[in-house]
Structure 1
């Protein structure tokens, strides 16, 4: 969940080392019982069927306002009638809803006893997830794409609040070099295998940063023109963003912060034209789109980009990314929270107050 006004944080699991040097390093953090279960921190996804119960064990009765930051179960916290609950939803549970069949296929859970147990567990989670929408006063979504999915899943409207992006980490003034770049966790839906196979066929230089379960699969597809650097530091990522010819992004993401980071570094983006990318990449000004997650479609987009490469200006691309600054996020979030709290105090509908709030458009 999200910390506001130096409030305590309640979360399923917490790994302090991951937050050293951040504003959360000295936060008051309360964890669920999963924190103390075998491999609860390192392999918490294994305990997904227990998370709905665990999120309901947090005692939040001392707080007037509860803010949940949810991609799975956080929005299901128990709150009283007198409390305000604002839920910033990054996605309804994807593996229980949109990616249900894909998740089962990729986990090899299409038949057998384990598959049946997984399907029953996800069925229960869908029922629980849908019912807990009534525990939320105000839904916020991290993109229009997610807002539409919130409506489809819960039949509730959501106010869009784009996530903050630390644009100051990136330098857009450095000369561009002759290589394409991508970075991601190596998991199936990120489609790093598609990018690597496409560039291997094209014979164009590609540098890839990232690690994950699919690393060996991707490595087997990589030709001599593709460099797989594995996991690297934030500084190394920013360096490649600043020098690459273009950043390549093939995932169907809810928002997708990395393409915005690339634009903060002045890099044009070659992106799959679905999901959050449609809201963060401007065609012919900050990048180009490809319409299908296929080698042919991505290849055509690379060719289109190279035919238009001279029209992309790093300063223009950077100015677009500036719209996602943390300062903007904080100001908009504060305005949303104030409107919701005022409406709650006055006995009015917080959801209507937030939806009616005028915020500067991107």
Structure 2
């Protein structure tokens, strides 16, 4: 049986790419995407070295640096992918990947990270992040109206949805009128390993863009001079954040995975302020035995383990963040790293593989297709 995995765009490693990596590996699949902009190291890690089969957008002017300029063409481009030679289509979608065309007899299972955020969830945030104002914003809003209509119509061609969280499952119900299984994304237990040593300082890991609200954490630590904060990540907000930071805040920029894991393992807690669909970093930190302090919204309601050391705060105001840090410091019972890690075990790669294969096999059985077999993780 031939399997195709379809990803939106491949520009670097992130949470969605970790899911795509597992799908490609588990099903020995060919990979398709709007564009493939990966460097050799990322391609080796995500795709096992194979190059994605891409759309005409790959060859348009300035696409390497500015492929998002071609957003109005994304539906046409994803529909142009030729998947006729495949029996099973698995899309890993946060935008348009689920809009691929299929022929009669093919099965399409979509692992959905979220319906298009910039069309359905946070259009204003998208416009701010990309500096679009006045006439540009007017054009984009018109484009988004067409994108929503296209997205709704094409969702009917997906045979089965798998959501990355109950939070996203509710969006799928509300926007598409469809049901979805929930399978949290995979966490590699051999990478995010338990650490029982001393811990120092707090950690934030994020792209430095407005909707991640890292500025609220920086502002909170102005009034926590005795506590240190390390911010890992890069993005257009970096300079502004550095200018507002006090001496107890350190910026590292982007870090390779091994160094990021070391930071996670040694942090007193990971702090998260964005309203995330899920928040894979939260699961990875807890796999290291590190507690999480996060906003009481979105995916964090599912992923932050309050019983064994996590804390949720009510708003993203610097005052609420500061008070949450103080509550963490004043605990009479220390967080339990072993139990934090155990709480994430259902997301480990082997469990993810079993759940995905079970769902795919059930969908295939309903359509009398050959069943797949799970590879050893």
TM-score, length basis structure 1: 0.90
Change (3 A) 1:309 1:88: farther
Q: In 1, distance between residues paired with 2:65 and 2:136? A: 22
Counterpart in the other structure of 1:300: 323
Q: In 2, distance between residues paired with 1:241 and 1:62? A: 43
Q: In 1, distance between residues paired with 2:68 and 2:96? A: 12
**RMSD after superposition:** 1.7
Does 2:161 correspond to 1:165?
Answer: no
How far is 1:110 from its partner? 4.6
How do 1:51-66 residues align onto structure 2 when only pairs under 5 Å count? 51-66=74-89
How far is 1:169 from its partner? 1.3
Which residue among 258, 267, 277 is the counterpart of 2:281?
258
Does 2:243 correspond to 1:243?
Answer: no
Contact 1:267 1:314 in 2 (8 A): yes
Mean Cα deviation higher: 142-151 or 29-38: 29-38
Residues 322-358 of structure 1: CA deviation (Å, up to 9, x unaligned): 2210111011101111100010118xxxxxxxxxxxx
Counterpart in the other structure of 1:323: 346
Counterpart in the other structure of 1:355: none
How far is 1:80 from its partner? 2.2
How do 1:106-145 residues align onto structure 2 when only pairs under 5 Å count? 106-111=129-134, 113-145=135-167
Residues 257-277 of structure 1: CA deviation (Å, up to 9, x unaligned): 111111111111101111111
Change (3 A) 1:181 1:16: closer
Which residue among 97, 100, 105 is the counterpart of 1:77?
100
Contact 2:44 2:50 in 1 (8 A): no
Residues 105-127 of structure 1: CA deviation (Å, up to 9, x unaligned): 4445453x322211111111111
Structure 2 counterpart SS, 1:148: helix
Change (3 A) 1:167 1:221: farther
Q: In 2, distance between residues paired with 1:219 and 1:101? A: 25
Q: In 1, distance between residues paired with 2:46 and 2:199? A: 35
TM-score, length basis structure 2: 0.87
How do 1:187-266 residues align onto structure 2 when only pairs under 5 Å count? 187-203=209-225, 204-266=227-289
Structure 1 counterpart SS, 2:140: helix
Counterpart in the other structure of 2:69: 46
Contact 1:263 1:286 in 2 (8 A): no
Q: In 1, distance between residues paired with 2:125 and 2:337? A: 37
Number of residue-to-residue matches in the alignment = 345
Mean Cα deviation higher: 215-224 or 281-290: 281-290
Q: In 2, distance between residues paired with 1:20 and 1:129? A: 29
Residues 216-268 of structure 1: CA deviation (Å, up to 9, x unaligned): 11111210111111122212111111111111111111111111111111111
Q: In 2, distance between residues paired with 1:171 and 1:331? A: 21
Does 2:27 correspond to 1:13?
Answer: no
Contact 2:43 2:51 in 1 (8 A): no
Q: In 2, distance between residues paired with 1:20 and 1:28? A: 7
Q: In 2, distance between residues paired with 1:223 and 1:208? A: 13
Change (3 A) 1:51 1:62: same
Counterpart in the other structure of 1:357: none
Structure 2 counterpart SS, 1:258: helix
Mean Cα deviation higher: 204-213 or 19-28: 19-28
Q: In 1, distance between residues paired with 2:268 and 2:156? A: 47
Q: In 2, distance between residues paired with 1:331 and 1:232? A: 31
Structure 1 runs not aligned, ≥5 long: 347-362
Q: In 2, distance between residues paired with 1:73 and 1:289? A: 33
How far is 1:100 from its partner? 1.4
Q: In 1, distance between residues paired with 2:174 and 2:342? A: 34
Counterpart in the other structure of 1:359: none
How far is 1:32 from its partner? 0.7
Q: In 2, distance between residues paired with 1:86 and 1:226? A: 44
How far is 1:81 from its partner? 3.1
Structure 1 counterpart SS, 2:117: coil
